[in-house]
Amino acid sequence: MALIYCVANQKGGVGKTTTVVNVGDYLTMRGHNVLVVDVDPQANATSSLGMREKERSASAHPAPTIYEVLVSEQPIGQAIRTTRRPRLHVVPSTPALAGAEVELVGLTGRETRLRRALTSILQYYDYVLIDTPPSLGLLTINALTASRDGVIIPVQCEYLALEGLSHLLHTIDLVRQRLNPQLKIAGVVLTMYDGRTRLSQEVVQEVKKFFRAGEVFQTIVPRNVRLSEAPSFGETIFTYSPESTGAMAYAALAEELLARAKQPVRERGVR
Ligand code: ADP
Ligand code: MG
């Protein structure tokens, strides 16, 4: 049965999608079958994995996306696409998903639709990684509710890095109380670190103070231009620039996640 994680932070541009795509691809290189579920209307994970919305919607019978899965309850199996990478599959998103945030409000089981949809395909994967939009609306709530094994929180090493984090943690608490009692923080990952700036170093210290010991991943992802170039070629960092500092960091991060996944819950930094 697959382990399910989402990557969430309502701030945009902190490295959520980059983390989903590259951790996901690394896990496939370790022999795991991985499903990326794109729950962001911006569909950056979808396009990073080489899938083009224009081609999809131009066909006479466009294949379903996460939108049809959440709003019309179409079987998620029909929405799964293969990618160039063996063992890495994706449930794509589409800009129409922006409407789902409102459409879901009037529907039954509006917070649990993704969790229920995933049950039918969990047996085929080792890891499900859910990418979320930069908001704390129903799409992110669906992702948090579905994440049996935890939420990964990227924090950018930038000015005001901690801003908004208490709001995110409050939302996580609410979801844990009402929808997903198992929900825990799988780890906080510092991203876009620039060792030359004092600011980056200060953010690392602040974040380590803010979260409990063990909650912050030891791996810090450096700012690395290769990471930002790879998606435009539909590649992950491991095919685009396997020797880069970005590739090394995401390999180390994924290894940490694998090690944490093996530990009994009580030894982890559970909030
Ligand atoms: P989010 O999904 O949180 O909005 P992204 O993963 O899309 O964030 O990252 C925002 C932008 O920063 C993207 O253009 C991405 O390619 C770039 N980026 C992400 N991580 C890094 C990094 N470690 N170094 C350099 N650029 C990065
Ligand atoms: Mg994103």
pLDDT band at 267 (very low <50, low <70, confident <90, very high): very low
pLDDT for 227-251, tens place per residue?
999 999 999 999 999 999 999 999 9
Using most ligand atoms within 8 A of CB, pick from 14, 17, 18, 131 the residue to mutate for ligand 1.
18
Asked if residue 122 has pLDDT above 90, the reply is yes
Least confident among 82-86, 135-139, 253-257, 265-269: 265-269
Given this model, what pLDDT does residue 264 score?
A: 62
pLDDT for the residue 54: 72
Over the stretch 76-108, which tens digit does the pLDDT of each residue have?
999 999 999 999 999 999 999 999 999 999 999
Mean pLDDT over all residues of the chain? 94
The amino acid occupying position 21 is: V
Q: Domain spans of the chain?
A: 3-261
Find tokens 């948090």 and name the residue: 144
Neighbours of 228 (CB within 10 A): 13
Residue 192: CB partners within 8 Å, gap ≥ 6?
Answer: 14, 15, 156, 157, 158, 221, 222, 223
Q: Do residues 117 and 142 lie in contact, with contact meaning Cβ atoms separated by under 8 Å?
A: no
14 in contact with ligand 1, CB cutoff 6 A: yes
Please, are residues 154 and 9 in contact by the beta-carbon 8 Å criterion? yes
Q: Is the pLDDT of residue 270 over 60?
A: no
Q: How far is the CA of 18 from the centre of ligand 1 (A)?
A: 6
DSSP 115-153: HHHHTTTGGG-SEEEEE--SS-SHHHHHHHHH-TT-EEE
State which amino acid sits at residue 99.
G
pLDDT of residue 271: 45
CATH superfamily for domain 3-261 = P-loop containing nucleotide triphosphate hydrolases (3.40.50.300)
80 Cβ inside 6 Å of ligand 1: no
CA pair distance 91, 49, nearest whole angstrom: 11
Angle at the Cα of 61 from the Cα atoms of 57 and 66, rounded to 5 degrees: 60
Determine the Cα–Cα distance for residues 124 and 122; give it in Å rounded to an integer: 5
